Amino acid sequence: MVKADFKITDMGTVADINHRDDLILIDIDRDRKSVIDSLPLKIWDYFNKYYNDIHGYSFFVKVENGEYKEIYAYPGTIPYIVKTLLKIEWWYVND
């Protein structure tokens, strides 16, 4: 059986990645849903328990070969530079 393991890291604020040209801002509802749907449900549960509803977050993403390689989340839709930024990482492991 394959299961997901993950890590959510506090990355400071949006200002800390403001210089990155390789990240795409995802703040439109349908695009945010696409990012959220790409995450394992285990992350949704953890996020909702410790950080509030994941659907209330927007994202900066790095895309390579049609896949999200890096995902950063911040609360709300406007990326003010003082907003808290979380990096979401996950990988699959055999059980």
Residue ranges of domains in the chain = 2-94
Q: How many Å separate Cα 52 from the centre of its chain? A: 13
Output the furthest CA–CA distance in the chain (Å, rounded).
Answer: 41
- For the cut 90, the answer to whether the pLDDT of residue 74 exceeds it is yes
Of the listed ranges 1-5, 11-15, 18-22, 32-36, the least confidently predicted one is 1-5
- For the cut 80, the answer to whether the pLDDT of residue 2 exceeds it is no
In this prediction, residues 32-38 reach a mean pLDDT of: 94
pTM of the full predicted structure? 0.91
CA gap 57, 34 in Å, rounded: 12
pLDDT computed for residue 43 by the predictor = 92
If one looks up domain 2-94 in CATH, what number appears?
Answer: 3.10.450.450
- For the cut 90, the answer to whether the pLDDT of residue 1 exceeds it is no
pLDDT computed for residue 94 by the predictor = 84
Inter-residue contact 5 to 93 (CB < 8 Å): yes
